[in-house]
Amino acid sequence: MKLDFENHIRVEHGYFLFPLPDEKYKALPEVYDKTCAVIYMASKIVSEPDKHKVPCKPIVEAYIRAALSELIALEEFILDEYHDIDQPLFKIYKTTDPILHMIKLLRNYNIYVSSSMVSQKSMRVRTLSEKIPEFDIEVAYISNLNFEAIRNLRSSKDYTDDQLRRMLDIFEEQQNVFGISTLLIKVALSYIGKFERYIKSIPENGL
């Protein structure tokens, strides 16, 4: 497996408000809507107990599973529906980005093996606003990333142990910049951005 550990999705900033995909991607309505679903699920990972008094922990972990599943479902939908695109560009297995590969492994782990455990931490962030230059936020991160558990996945057999360790290290680094929510949103927006080259040539009824 060829992976590029120098060039991968990086979290460069957080989101004061959770974003939507660029309007231009509405030319691909199903893709746009599915990306919005990923963003919604990811944005709910840090939440308060609901009015039914259900504890936060199982809800947060369920949203992580949902966000991961929606991301992989987006890949599967694109590969099934859009046959005229450069498909290797959208096949996570064919990309060189270790973050995308880790997303797929984590989805398989959460669906078939166990659940990602979540911890939260406080973080002071800076803004460009003069009125509120700094404030504290709570961010969530997956706290039980485990080499042996990931290594035992059937889908991990195509990677060397060194690759798996480096993938875990990079994922850990990026999720701790502004939390797992921000990383998953960044991944979704980066993934849909692969359609950039096709947007201008898309007729009104889609690809």
Name the pLDDT band for 144 (thresholds 50, 70, 90): confident
Report pLDDT digits (tens) over 84-143: 899 999 999 999 999 999 999 999 988 766 778 778 777 776 665 666 667 676 788 898
Helix locations, the chain, DSSP H: 29-43, 56-81, 87-90, 98-108, 147-151, 161-178, 180-192, 196-199
pLDDT mean across residues, the chain? 86
Q: Which long-range contacts (CB under 8 A, 24 or more apart) does 62-66 make?
A: 64/110, 64/116, 64/118, 64/142, 64/180, 65/110, 65/111, 65/115, 65/116, 66/41
Overall average pLDDT of the 183-196 stretch:
95
Assigned token pair, 29: 């309505």
Q: Looking at residue 68, what is its pLDDT? A: 95
Q: Looking at residue 52, what is its pLDDT? A: 47
